[in-house]
Amino acid sequence: MLAKISQLGRDFLPADTRRRLKAVVDPLLATVGSVQAAKTATSVVALTFDDGPDATVTPQVLDLLRQAGARATFFILSDHAERLPQIVRDIVAQGHEIGLHGDRHDRLTQFSTSEVRSRLAVAKAAIETISGTRITLFRPPYGAQTLATYIIAKSLGLQTVVWGPYAEDWLDSSPEAAAAKVLGVVRGGEIALFHDGLELDDDAVRPALDRARVVELVLDGFKARGLTADTVSAMIDASGARKTGWFRT
């Protein structure tokens, strides 16, 4: 029901009206809220990457982060992690954070609660074994989440993390255009979404976009504006978490 109401709001309400409604509703849904930003003002932006690890792009992104003295959170898929375990260990060794994105890139809202629980539990355990770290953050593929899947993730010790500005780096655009979609709107305290891996629907055309170049441009833009890129946990540990009622199918 919450997912259907949320979808209706996105389909029929103007953006400004949605923002005002969100400001009223989010505090009421705080107990079932997903982390979307820092609670208090900060100069930090949480840089997040989905769908990895990727054999080509993830090492490039790690090099760029190292050069910039920046950190990020990587929401990874366990089937990718099992194929590329050394990259997962490199992410951790270089001071970044790992969160769970699932086993495969499926909309969990399409499966039974027992299957969702089993898949998340197995994926979480696999990534913890590979990375040697405890996984506490979760981002559902496609952002698809119902109250039931939220509760299941919570029961497994996972806090759902969603996002604010995003680069639309799954589209075939220039790196400059993709970076501008974030740099044009981002503020300190927000969670920005990028992709090091890229899982697409079966009928989608894979873009030729240089995703690492997008990250390079964004990091340069952050530096010019006095913003620091860090992990989700570091940002919310320092500034608290602003949560939103995020339910969509």
**Proportion of the chain in helix, strand, coil states, percent, rounded to 5:** 50, 20, 35
Dist. CA 225–CA 11, nearest whole Å: 34
- Residues 62, 94 contacting (CB under 8 angstroms): yes
- Residues 181, 168 contacting (CB under 8 angstroms): yes
Of the listed 50, 54, 106, 169, which one is catalytic? 50
Of the listed 51, 80, 195, 230, which one is catalytic? 195
Active site residue 105: no
Q: Of 92, 116, 80, which is closest to residue 195 (Cα–Cα)?
A: 80
- Residues 209, 216 contacting (CB under 8 angstroms): no
- Give the residues across from 74 on adjacent strands: 49, 98
The DSSP secondary structure of 92-146, one letter per residue, reads: HHTT-EEEEEESSS--GGGS-HHHHHHHHHHHHHHHHHHHSS---EE--GGG-B-
Q: Of 19, 196, 201, 182, which is closest to residue 98 (Cα–Cα)?
A: 196
- Residues 50, 193 contacting (CB under 8 angstroms): yes
Active site residue 50: yes
Which residues are designated catalytic? 50, 195
